[in-house]
Amino acid sequence: MSERPSGPAASTPPDGPPAGAGSDQAARALLTAERAAVVTRLAAAEDDVRRIIGAGQDVATDDEHDPEGIGLALERAHAVAALERARDQLARLQDAQDRLARGDYGRCSGCGRRIPAERLQALPTATTCTACSPVRRPAARRGR
Ligand SMILES: [Zn+2]
């Protein structure tokens, strides 16, 4: 996987100095892969929103309460939510990559201990260990 996502929103940070720890390498690969997936999702969500808003303009000229319009509004709400989730996730990934570059990655911001590797694998953007996590989200909530 050497392809970089090239989009207007993708500000590619320069690669940090090679860290000695092998886990940093793994984390970097994981974050890079995750980021590529999120960038793709973000672009798709932006397309969806644009398409739906474009379609909505046709409907907006219609004064009747058109069921088409309601469906479209719902669809737009979903698309906007997906877009916001993708942006949010991208920001968290950027933050994780920044922390990795600083050497702070994988350290709990609550207690300062190392975050268990399996937690970072499941949630690469985690900033706290499980004990310090303010929200214990069920694993099923991940993804779309
Ligand atoms: Zn902690």
Q: Which two tokens stand for residue 25?
A: 């390498």
Confidence band for 99, pLDDT divided at 50, 70 and 90: very high
- Residue 54 placed within a domain: yes
Q: Does 5 map to a domain?
A: no
Give the residue with greater pLDDT, 68 vs 4.
Answer: 68
80 is a domain residue: yes
Task: Take residue 136 and report the two structure tokens written for it.
Answer: 């214990």
> What residue numbers bound the domain in which 28 lies?
23-104
Instruction: Say how many Å lie between the CA of residue 104 and the centre of ligand 1.
Output: 14
Contact 129, 115 (CB under 8 A): yes
- Do the domain assignments include residue 65? yes
Q: Compute the average pLDDT of residues 115-142.
A: 81
In-domain check, residue 73: yes
CA of 128 to the centre of ligand 1 (A): 5
Q: What is the pTM of this model?
A: 0.67
Cβ 39 vs Cβ 10: under 8 Å: yes
**pLDDT for the residue 115:** 94
DSSP class of residue 131? T
Asked if residue 42 is part of any domain, the answer here is: yes
10-48 pLDDT, tens digit each = 444 455 444 445 678 888 999 999 999 999 999 999 999
CA–CA dist 60, 69 (Å, integer) = 8
Do 124 and 30 form a contact (C-beta atoms < 8 A)?
yes
Q: Is residue 1 part of a domain?
A: no
Smallest Cα–Cα separation from 87: which of 138, 46, 29, 49? 46
**Is residue 97 domain-resident?**
yes
pLDDT tens digits for range 51-94: 988 876 665 555 556 666 778 888 889 999 999 999 999 999 99
Contact 80, 49 (CB under 8 A): yes
For ligand 1, the distance from its centroid to the CA atom of residue 131, given in whole angstroms, is 6
Cα 17 to ligand 1 centre (Å): 27
**What is the domain count for the chain?**
1
